[in-house]
Structure 1
Amino acid sequence: MPLPRLVSSTLFAGVIATSAAAEGTLILFANGEELATEGFLAPELTRDGWELRFDHIFVTLSGVAALQTDPPYDAEAGGVPEASVTASFDDADQITIDLTDTDTDGRVRIASVTAPQGHYNAVTWSVVPAAAGDWVGQSIVFVGTATRDGETVDFTLTSADTHDYTCGEFVGDTRKGLVTPGAEADLELTFHLDHVFGRADRDASGHMNSHALGFDAFGAGGTQEIALSGLHIGHVGEGHCAVSYR
């Protein structure tokens, strides 16, 4: 099957603010981490012992926005963030990215926007079926090879699920989303693939592995559908998100 036509990652969109403020640049990235770029390699095989290598992981996004919230948004409690400033990245258009097509830092640059200064401590976005292109109707597509016990199969796993994410502050080695006048700041949408396929090097009875699909169901290879509802793939670093599926 031919590859999809990716939407340009240099999209710019508007900012809605409650008052005029000094501005900087806010840059949005996506990150599938090493499980996307390197694959599920020993000892980090899938929960059922498959090695996975990905040629492409296409994800279609919509409604991506960064928020300044007070009080800080609590993803565990859910609800609607109380935003004083909202910076929109996609202007209601879809953005299709490939989590394997990264920069030297292992991330995919999605878009940038001029934004009022302040701390953007919440992010909202949706994973949606593509409205056009070669993967029309699919929201996430995994393309790659799987190997176990000396047998290798090619696979294409397609999902039409829609996921809506509302996330609090990025959790990682550094704080993100701190916009200062005339400077650049960044935010990250993080996709945890071990929540889909599990990890053989983790406790088999742990929450992640007990909910993950593994790869056995897709071991015949070829093109198959994969249901991602309920797997909580999207994060902000290690920060959690409230998520609903439709």
Structure 2
Amino acid sequence: MKAFAVSTLGCLVLGGLASCGSESPTATTSEAEPTETASAEGETGTLVIRANGEDFVRQGFTTKDGWEIEFDNLYVSLADISAAQTDPPFDPESGDTLEAKAEVKVDGTQVVDLAEGDEAADPVAVGEVEAPAGRFNALAWRMVPAESGPSESYSIWMQGTATKEGEEIPFTVKVNEELAFTCGDFVGDDRKGILTAGEAADLEATFHFDHLFGDGSVPADDGINTGALGFEPLAALAENGVVDVDSTALQAELSEADYTTFLSILPSLGHVGEGHCAETKLTTL
């Protein structure tokens, strides 16, 4: 059920949001779940929050070190999702505090599978909220360990197959670090977050997993590759031809340099399209 209330919003520090609820994560679903909201006065519409792993996740890709990656599942556990209207627009790279004119929140924790669907699939719906008409140009969320379901105890669960030169390695990489992102306006070919009264609009949390693995379709000296871990360090952890590691194993078994690279990449996963985010929390083991 939707709950709609009028509120006056002051200074909102999205990096320290309190939990909106205590529901357990739901199974991955292609339908948005109604959630509790808060809004400013005025006419309203429906804001749909979506999560997008892009074609890299849905279709597969080649890593910077030549491994062909196909994901079966890529679960992310999202909590404290908050969309805001800001004026002036929030710049996540400025270090300034976000000033919200209006805000809506998605209740509870949602677990979604970014690998769901094919290249024609819409980004996965995470939740929908009744919201005041206007331009939503800021989005924040936390990534927390799931409380139940297939990715229980992990904020990110990557499962699939990597293939190179005839070698095939099934892999499962489970991340339990907690992250929090505060993002500005969506940047992409289509405008998002512009909500007209009585209508619906999308806002998107985008995840760039090519930052972790690199992109074999671009030159080796491209920035996406020079800062990426690739798959080779993970392939080296295979036992009996299978990679099955969590954050504890990564810390123990990766080289110090590779583990440092892994940790440094996590804060760069969250985007809004190509728009940047401020990573406001990284809780390690």
Question: Could you state the TM-score of these two structures normalised by the residue count of structure 1?
Answer: 0.90
Q: 1:167 aligns with which of 164, 183, 197?
A: 183
Partner-residue secondary structure (3-state), 1:195: helix
**Identity percentage of aligned residues:** 40
CA distance in 2, matches of 1:95, 1:185: 20
Question: Offset of 1:217 from its aligned partner?
Answer: 1.4
Q: Where does 1:20-169 land on structure 2 (aligned, <5 Å)?
A: 20-40=41-61, 45-89=62-106, 91=107, 93-102=108-117, 104-169=120-185
Q: 1:178 aligns with which of 187, 191, 194?
A: 194
**Would you say how many aligned residue pairs link Structure 1 and Structure 2?**
236
Measured against aligned partners, the alpha-carbon deviations of 1:135-177 in whole angstroms (never above 9, x if no partner) come to: 3221101110000011101110110111110000000112111
Q: Does 1:242 align with 2:278?
A: yes
When residues 234 and 17 of structure 1 are mapped into structure 2, their CA distance, relative to the original with a 3 A threshold, is same
Letter in 2 for 1:155: F
Structure 2: runs of 5+ lacking an equivalent: 1-24, 251-261
CA distance in 1, matches of 2:122, 2:167: 29
Question: Offset of 1:5 from its aligned partner?
Answer: 6.1
CA distance in 2, matches of 1:222, 1:5: 27
Question: Could you state the TM-score of these two structures normalised by the residue count of structure 2?
Answer: 0.78
Question: Offset of 1:222 from its aligned partner?
Answer: 2.6
CA distance in 1, matches of 2:194, 2:110: 24
CA distance in 1, matches of 2:274, 2:141: 17
Aligned-residue Cα RMSD (Å) equals 1.8
Measured against aligned partners, the alpha-carbon deviations of 1:18-38 in whole angstroms (never above 9, x if no partner) come to: 4x2100111111111111111
Measured against aligned partners, the alpha-carbon deviations of 1:82-125 in whole angstroms (never above 9, x if no partner) come to: 00101112x2x110000011384341111111111110000000
Q: Where does 1:182-193 land on structure 2 (aligned, <5 Å)?
A: 182-193=198-209
Q: 1:15 aligns with which of 34, 37, 41?
A: 37
The match for 1:230 is 264
Partner-residue secondary structure (3-state), 1:147: strand
Larger relative contact order (CA 8 Å, sep ≥ 6):
1
When residues 7 and 53 of structure 1 are mapped into structure 2, their CA distance, relative to the original with a 3 A threshold, is closer
Runs of 4+ in 1 over 6 A off after TM superposition: none
Equivalent pair of 2:28/2:113 in contact (CA under 8 Å): no
CA distance in 2, matches of 1:35, 1:217: 20
Letter in 1 for 2:49: L
Structure 1: runs of 5+ lacking an equivalent: none
Structure with the higher fraction of residues in helix conformation: 2
